[in-house]
Chains A and B, each alone.
Chain A
């Protein structure tokens, strides 16, 4: 398996623009997670899905953030409109089952810079 695949690896955009981050989880993993990492706040869970259904989006910072999982092999995290404070590394991770059975596998992340 190629692991969790994220795209793009780097994204530079201007304030106010829409940004879409993409993730392909490991095949067969029922759980998908979106995290954000910054120096100030460390790793923050934004939202997670189980079997394509959003379970907990309490970590989504504002209405400007939205996430979808239209099928088991694809998820998007969208920011509209983007702001400089959204600059961070965004990670996607997937897990086989509840309770972290088998552990999490992380993607390589998308480094977002909003100027």
Chain B
């Protein structure tokens, strides 16, 4: 069974810091990788989608990279703000699973003012 893992499980930083969230997957046969944000009691909001032919995607202060050979993706958040506090989930589309997403367990981020 494909496993997607995220490190760390929780992270607390002061406002203004740059930070990196990590995601690893055990199967290099990956189509795409998608990063989501989930606020408490809310649904999942898509942040970035990296196609298998791409190495990174950027949106505002967010940058996500994908290294298929090493089975890793990182989400970089620049100049963090209290409003960034949420749980961040990475999810992989695997060649062996077609359109099914496999989710990591998430990183709970707290940005302190």
Q: Which residues of A contact B (CB under 8 A)?
A: 31, 33, 42-43, 45, 48, 50, 55-56, 91, 93, 95, 97-109, 111
Contact = CB atoms under 8 A, between A and B. Distances in A.
Contact of B32 (A50, A93, A100): A100
11 contacts: A33-B100, A43-B103, A48-B99, A93-B44, A98-B98, A99-B99, A101-B51, A103-B46, A106-B36, A108-B42, A109-B43
Nearest to B43: A108
Which 9 residue pairs across A and B have the least CB separation, nearest first?
A: A100-B93, A103-B49, A99-B31, A106-B44, A108-B43, A43-B103, A100-B32, A109-B43, A106-B43
Nearest to A99: B31
Interface of B: 31-32, 34, 36, 41-46, 49, 51, 89, 91, 93, 98-101, 103, 105-106
Given A31-B99, A42-B105, A43-B103, A103 B34 contact: yes
Given A43-B103, A48-B99, A50-B99, A100 B34 contact: yes
Contacts of B91: 104
A29 to B, nearest CB: 11
A78 B12 CA distance: 39
B66 to A, nearest CB: 13
A57 B36 CA distance: 24
Contacts of A45: 100-101
Given A43-B89, A99-B99, A91 B44 contact: yes
A93 B45 CA distance: 11
A100 B99 contact: yes
A15 B3 CA distance: 34
Contact of A42 (B34, B49, B103): B103
B73 to A, nearest CB: 14
A32 B101 CA distance: 12
A60 B74 CA distance: 32
A111 B41 CA distance: 9
Given A42-B105, A45-B101, A102 B49 contact: yes
B32 A101 contact: yes
Contacts of A95: 99
